[in-house]
């Protein structure tokens, strides 16, 4: 390649670059953002930054770019939130397909037992307390399918706030569980509080009870014990090692 040709090519490139730089400066002075300029001038953003760092913008242009940036950030967050929401929906849908309905008798028995272990009474009475209509409805159906106990043979009690309509809430839970309104005991009305409640319990909390259900209670915990027997050796060894934790005195209630 001859020196003359090389110099001509370099000169051409320099002239082309100068033209692009001049155009970029003109566009910037019109208030365009770097991304908007890049659509018209095919150079790296770092090159634009170098060319335009000394170009000042009018107040109206700065305001427009600021508003555009804030809007872009907002839309970006919303887009990310929507994308995550779609991902979560996909995960849940896939997980739903892993479960075969109706549940087998053993799966049904143990699923209810696990819920009772978490939310049921740890005393002799067979009772479960919760505010989630899904959970309470499942347990009512579970009692029917596993033990043959209808809602008409259950008792219930509400835990609600003063501003709630006790009669209407009783009707809601009665319709859901099949427990007659006459089988609801006296409701516990929580005293007014100035504290802000994060969760609004629209239906209050309900406790359902199986009369004379002590033996049922033992039976359910027998199922749980059978499932947990696999882990009992590990628990026994660990508890023996940390036996000293049981020597702490019980706290005093000074109220």
pLDDT tens digits, one per residue of 142-173: 999 999 999 999 999 999 999 999 999 999 99
Domain boundaries, the chain: 7-57, 62-98, 105-243
Roughly what angle, to the nearest 10 degrees, separates helices 3-29 and 45-52?
70
Per-residue pLDDT band at 3 (split at 50, 70, 90):
very low
Per-residue pLDDT band at 107 (split at 50, 70, 90):
very high
List 250's β-bridge partners, or say none: none
What is the C-alpha separation between 107 and 91, in angstroms, rounded? 22
Asked if 139 and 208 touch (Cβ cutoff 8 Å), the reply is: yes
Note the pLDDT of residue 113.
Answer: 98
Dump strand ranges (E) for 86-142. Answer: 126-130
- On the 0-12 / 13-18 / 19+ scale of CB atoms within 10 A, 79 is exposed
| pLDDT of residue 119 exceeding 50 | yes
Position with higher pLDDT, 214 vs 53: 214
Tokens of 249: 């005195």
Q: Average model confidence (pLDDT) for the chain?
A: 88
User: Is the peptide bond prior to 102 cis by the omega test (within 30 degrees of 0)?
Assistant: yes
Tokens of 197: 């409640």
In this prediction, residues 224-241 reach a mean pLDDT of 95
Note the pLDDT of residue 54.
Answer: 85
Q: What angle do CA 228, 230, 235 make, to 5 degrees?
A: 75
| pLDDT of residue 189 exceeding 90 | yes
Torsion angle in degrees (nearest 10) through CA of 90, 93, 95, 99: -170
What is the C-alpha separation between 112 and 37, in angstroms, rounded? 63
List 158's β-bridge partners, or say none: 206
Note the pLDDT of residue 6.
Answer: 41
Sheet of strand 155-160: strand arrangement: 126-130, 205-210, 155-160, 188-189
The count of other CB atoms within 10 Å of the CB of residue 50 is: 12
Dump strand ranges (E) for 146-250. Answer: 155-160, 188-189, 205-210
In this prediction, residues 52-64 reach a mean pLDDT of 85
Output the pTM of the full model: 0.66
Q: What angle do CA 168, 170, 171 make, to 5 degrees?
A: 65
Give the distance between the most distant pair of CA atoms in the chain: 107
6, 34, 83, 132 from 70: Cα distances, Å: 47, 15, 20, 40
């Amino acid at each position: 390649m001859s020196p003359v040709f090389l110099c001509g090519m370099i000169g051409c490139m320099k002239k082309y670059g100068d033209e692009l730089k001049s155009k970029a400066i003109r566009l910037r002075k019109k208030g365009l953002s770097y991304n908007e300029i890049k659509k018209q001038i095919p150079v790296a953003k770092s090159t634009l930054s170098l060319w335009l760092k000394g170009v000042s913008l009018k107040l109206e242009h700065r305001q427009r770019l600021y508003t555009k940036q804030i809007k872009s950030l907002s839309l970006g967050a919303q887009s990310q939130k929507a994308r995550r929401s779609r991902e979560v929906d996909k995960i849940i849908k896939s997980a739903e397909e892993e479960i075969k309905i109706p549940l087998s008798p053993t799966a049904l028995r143990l699923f209810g037992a696990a819920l009772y272990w978490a939310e049921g009474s740890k005393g002799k009475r067979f009772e479960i307390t919760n505010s989630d209509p899904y959970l309470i409805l499942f347990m009512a159906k579970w009692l029917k399918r596993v033990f043959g106990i209808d809602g008409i043979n259950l008792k219930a009690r509400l835990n609600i706030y003063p501003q709630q309509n006790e009669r209407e809430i009783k009707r809601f839970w009665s319709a859901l569980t099949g427990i007659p309104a006459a089988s609801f005991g006296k409701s516990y009305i929580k005293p007014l509080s100035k504290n802000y409640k994060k969760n609004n319990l629209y239906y209050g909390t309900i406790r359902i009870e199986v009369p004379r259900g002590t033996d049922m209670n033992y039976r359910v915990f027998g199922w749980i014990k059978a499932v947990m027997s696999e882990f009992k050796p590990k628990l026994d060894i660990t508890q023996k090692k940390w036996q000293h934790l049981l020597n702490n005195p019980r706290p005093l209630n000074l109220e």
